[in-house]
Amino acid sequence: MPLLTNSAPPQQCRWHDYSTTAELEQAAAQAILRAAQQAISQRGVFHIVLAGGTSPRRVYELLRKADTDWAAWHVYFGDERCLPPDHAERNSRMAAQAWLDHVAIPPDQIHPIPAEMGAQNAASAYARIAEEIDFFDLVLLGLGEDGHTASLFPGHELGNTPNAPAAIAVFDSPKPPPQRVSLSACRLGAAHQVIFLVTGAAKQQAITNWRNGISIPATTITPAGGVDVYLEATLLRKR
């Protein structure tokens, strides 16, 4: 069982708490658009990695009406479930229905993980795609009840060592489906900005562990600029 050792520097964490989920979602959408505006003005492109699960859905919906240069956006995914591309539980399908199908990002600039190829083949293929980008401008991540993020689970390979591959095949995910592909902790941390979106009382213990310095997969994401955690204020109350 790999230890949660991490040769990277300790994670710097900024907590942004909101009294309602709606306020959190609005703030997160604005933060994404600020990051896009800055990247596009500085480099002419914006490379964003999307979170899966359900927490980001409303944030993605809020982006539909954004006033931004969609032609400069390049979209990647932090993880994917090994299901057919049009399966209702695919992270890429959720993002497409909530947002990507409604905006003019050039299709060849949206890079779903080909998880239908099977975990190992898809991880190898996606690692090559992810390695074309030195630093993502923004990585969005969720948080699981056990402290997982993307498809990096406690007691599983996290890819948090310097020579870790950019993408990892998962065969025994505790969160169904069992087969998944995830960007590694190292790859997810190679970003100018990382934002976690955390909603729901079920995340309380994971947040408490995080704030008490207990290692969880989320703490292995250690970008030089630190991470920003957008969460409901109720999740901050218990120590």
Binds ligand 6PG by CB under 6 A, chosen from 35, 59, 83, 150 = 150
CA angle at 118 for the pair 139 and 59, rounded to the nearest 5°:
30
| Cβ at position 181, least distance to ligand 6PG in Å | 10
Neighbours of 19 (CB within 10 A): 10
Binds ligand 6PG by CB under 6 A, chosen from 148, 168, 231, 235 = 148
Binding mask 62-81 for ligand 6PG (x = CB under 6 A): -----------------x-x
Nearer to ligand 6PG, 72 or 167 (CB): 167
Residue 150 DSSP symbol: T
Three-state DSSP state, 76: strand
Burial class for 1, CB neighbours closer than 10 Å (0-12, 13-18, 19+): exposed
Three-state DSSP state, 23: helix
Residues between 87 and 146 with contacts to ligand 6PG, criterion CB under 6 A? 91, 142-144
Q: Which helix (DSSP H) or strand (DSSP E) does residue 186 occupy?
A: helix 185-189
Which residue's CB comes closest to ligand 6PG?
142
Does 19 participate in binding ligand 6PG (rule CB under 6 A)? Answer: no
Sequence-distant (6+) residues with CB within 8 A of 231 are: 15, 16, 17, 18, 24, 196, 198, 199, 203, 207
The answer to whether 162 touches 219, Cβ cutoff 8 Å, is no
| Cβ at position 72, least distance to ligand 6PG in Å | 25
Residues between 151 and 170 with contacts to ligand 6PG, criterion CB under 6 A? 151
Nearer to ligand 6PG, 16 or 175 (CB): 175
Binding mask 25-64 for ligand 6PG (x = CB under 6 A): --------------------------xxxxx---------
| Cβ at position 67, least distance to ligand 6PG in Å | 27
Binding mask 192-221 for ligand 6PG (x = CB under 6 A): --------x---------------------
Which two three-digit tokens encode residue 119?
A: 């975990």
User: Cα(192)–Cα(225) distance, rounded to whole angstroms?
Assistant: 7
| DSSP β-ladder status, 73-77 and 79-81 | unpaired
Binding mask 172-191 for ligand 6PG (x = CB under 6 A): ---x----------------
Task: Give the interface with ligand 6PG as residue ranges (CB under 6 A).
Answer: 51-55, 79, 81, 91, 142-144, 148-151, 175, 200
